[in-house]
Amino acid sequence: MLRNKLRAFLTMLGIIIGVGAVIAMVAIGEGSKKSIRDQLSGMGSNMITIRPSSNVTVGGGARLGSTGLQTLKVEDADAIKKQASYVTSVSPAVNANGQAINGSLNWPTTMQGVSPEYLGIRDWKLKDGISFTQADVNSAAKVCLIGQTVVENIFTNGEDPVGKIIRFNKIPIKIIGVLEEKGENTFGQDQDDIVLAPYTTVQKRMLAIPYVQTIYASAMDEQSSTLATDQVSSILRKQHRLKAADDDDFTVRTQAELINTISSTSQLLTVLLAAIASISLVVGGIGIMNIMYVSVTERTKEIGLRMSIGARGLDILLQFLIEAILISITGGLIGVALGITASKLVTAFLSWPTYITESSIVLSFLVCAVTGVFFGYYPALKASRLDPIEALRYE
């Protein structure tokens, strides 16, 4: 077999493609998983989101959506800030949609009212200018920070937006800073299409509401986010004077939960791709078996000769088995190289993220070694059981 290079190569091809496919597929699956995880972590992996939710059914059983609920107050945010030891920063948040206008240019966007700590919670940075302060919050100052998309749409001629006064829903507001570009998030939302202002400004001047829609907080680190969540829940229950039997009138979500949910989805993708690729590995194994059978038949005379000069059944068995294993392992090695190359090419040309895991390499390599043994064993056994007399006479 080793002296018949083309046949050996064609036999190997099945294994090569099988192993290569497994590695490339798993790399693609893992890559997408990893990139989602990275992006979510980029959003602040220790971020905690608190939204109101209805704990009472009103009227005919319809429950209200979170935006309609008014249960979260600025005082809740203050209480969390003061009492929760695992929470480092807290920011109330209110959103107002509207038109940002600069002279003749305008752009529909969202104004988010937050506290100065919000930038830290989201891990957002300023590209230019300064952030607003607690003093601005206290005075409901008409200052804001704008995102890159807003800059591009209402400052078309490249002028510096910092210090300019724009109008948002007819209210003049001064730009004191520009946010760094962040691109789209995992869900395809443009994170740069935003205007940040003190939450008091949005509450009082834009929406005229006393409550807040969301409270963002950040846990000390990723590990303590569960503990922080529990603290936040108990503090809010106390704040809202809920009895032990009452349901929460809020929901507390951590980014970690979201990461897990999405990771498990892409885990499914990885498993699916690997399963499909494994099929080709099995087909490759059957290819080996087929060729080994042909090889045994074709070399019956040689087997007879080897037996007549003293080869035991075991020697013949080992000879064919080693041949099969050698083919599958060589195929496996080439397959590993092919898989890695294919993953790199996918990243290079399709710019899909790929991530090659050692486990997928080790696993597919082991599988192909086992394939060699499994599919090589029966032909080898057949060869070893030949009768030397008949084998010698075989033409």
Partner 1 sequence: MGSEIVRALKGVSFTVEQGEFVTIMGSSGSGKTTLLNILGCLDKPTSGDYILDDVSIKKLSRNELARLRNKKIGFVFQAYNLLARTTARENVELPLLYNSSITLKERHERSMKALASVKLEDRVGHLPNQLSGGQQQRVAIARALVNEPVMILADEATGNLDSRTSYEIMSLMQELNQQQGKTIVFVTHEPDIAAFSNRTITLKDGKVIKDTKNENVRSAKDMLMSLPTNDDY
Among residues 284, 297, 268, 278, the alpha carbon closest in space to that of 383 is found at: 297
* Residue corresponding to tokens 């100052």: 141
Task: Please state, in angstroms and rounded to a whole number, the distance separating the CA atoms of residues 284 and 335.
Answer: 11
Is position 322 an interface residue for partner 1 (rule: CB under 8 A)?
A: no
Tokens of 191: 């994170």
Q: How many residues bind partner 1 (CB under 8 A)?
A: 18
Is position 305 an interface residue for partner 1 (rule: CB under 8 A)?
A: yes
Judged by CB under 8 A, the residue of 163, 188, 310, 349 near partner 1 is: 310
The 69-108 contact track toward partner 1, x by CB under 8 A, reads ----------------------------------------
Is position 296 an interface residue for partner 1 (rule: CB under 8 A)?
A: no
Nearer to partner 1, 238 or 312 (CB): 312
> DSSP string of 12-27?
HHHHHHHHHHHHHHHH
> DSSP string of 234-300?
HHHHHHTT--TTSPPSEEEEEHHHHHHHHHHHHHHHHHHHHHHHHHHHHHHHHHHHHHHHHHHHHTH
Task: Please state, in angstroms and rounded to a whole number, the distance separating the CA atoms of residues 329 and 122.
Answer: 49
Is position 174 an interface residue for partner 1 (rule: CB under 8 A)?
A: no
Is position 58 an interface residue for partner 1 (rule: CB under 8 A)?
A: no
Q: Which stretch binds partner 1 (CB under 8 A): 33-41, 105-113, 303-311, 354-362?
A: 303-311
Is position 298 an interface residue for partner 1 (rule: CB under 8 A)?
A: no
Q: Which residues pair with 289 in a beta bridge?
A: none
Q: Please, what is the end-to-end C-alpha distance for the chain in angstroms?
A: 19
Nearer to partner 1, 125 or 301 (CB): 301
Cβ–Cβ < 8 Å for 207, 92: no
Is position 123 an interface residue for partner 1 (rule: CB under 8 A)?
A: no
Q: Which stretch binds partner 1 (CB under 8 A): 95-103, 289-297, 311-319, 333-341?
A: 311-319
Q: Which stretch binds partner 1 (CB under 8 A): 108-116, 213-221, 235-243, 296-304?
A: 296-304
Q: Which residues pair with 184 in a beta bridge?
A: 190
Cβ–Cβ < 8 Å for 329, 323: no
Q: How far is the CB of 381 from partner 1 (least distance, A)?
A: 14
Nearer to partner 1, 27 or 327 (CB): 327
Judged by CB under 8 A, the residue of 42, 120, 129, 313 near partner 1 is: 313
Q: How far is the CB of 394 from partner 1 (least distance, A)?
A: 11
Cβ–Cβ < 8 Å for 44, 123: yes
Among residues 155, 137, 44, 151, the alpha carbon closest in space to that of 92 is found at: 137
Nearer to partner 1, 58 or 309 (CB): 309
Nearer to partner 1, 135 or 389 (CB): 389
Q: Which stretch binds partner 1 (CB under 8 A): 70-78, 267-275, 297-305, 334-342?
A: 297-305
Residues that bind partner 1 (CB under 8 A): 3, 301-302, 304-315, 388-389, 392
